[in-house]
A and B are shown apart, each in its own frame.
Chain A
Amino acid sequence: MCRDCGCSLGPAATRAPLAAATATPGRTETIEVITAILGENDRVAAHNREHFDAQGVLAVNLMSSPGAGKTSLLEATIRALDGRLKVAVIEGDLATENDADRIRACGVPAVQITTGNACHLDAQMVHDAVHDLPLAGLDVLFIENVGNLVCPASFDLGQHRNVTLLSVPEGDDKPAKYPVMFRAADLSLITKTDLLAYITEFKLERAHAALRQIGFGGETIELTSRGGDGFAAWLAWLEREVAAQRERTARGSTARPAIQPEGAAVHAAGRPPR
Chain B
Amino acid sequence: MHELSVCQALIGQVEKVARENDARRVVAIVIAVGPLSGVEAGLLEHAYPIAAAGTLAEHATLTVETVPVRVKCRKCGAETGAQPNRLVCGDCGDWQVDVIAGEEMLLKRVEIETAPAAVH
Interface residues, chain A, CB within 8 Å of chain B? 2-6, 9, 12, 15, 18, 21-22, 24-41, 118-120, 122, 148, 150-151, 153-155, 175-177, 179-181, 183, 212-215, 217, 261-265, 267-269
Contact = CB atoms under 8 A, between A and B. Distances in A.
Contact of A37 (B9, B97, B110, B114): B9
Given A18-B53, A34-B108, A213-B87, A267 B100 contact: yes
A264 B38 contact: no
Contacts of A148: 1
Interface string B87-113: 110000001110111011111111111
Given A22-B25, A150-B1, A214-B87, A34 B106 contact: yes
A6 B109 CA distance: 26
Contact of B3 (A4, A36, A41): A4
Interface residues of B, number: 59
Interface of B: 1-6, 8-10, 12-13, 17, 21, 23-25, 27, 31-32, 34-39, 46-47, 50, 53-54, 58-59, 71, 84-88, 95-97, 99-101, 103-117
**Which of A2, A24, A33, A183 is packed against the most chain B CB atoms within 10 Å?**
A33
Q: 8 tightest A-B contacts by CB? A: A151-B2, A215-B87, A264-B103, A154-B38, A179-B85, A180-B38, A264-B104, A26-B113
A212 B105 CA distance: 24
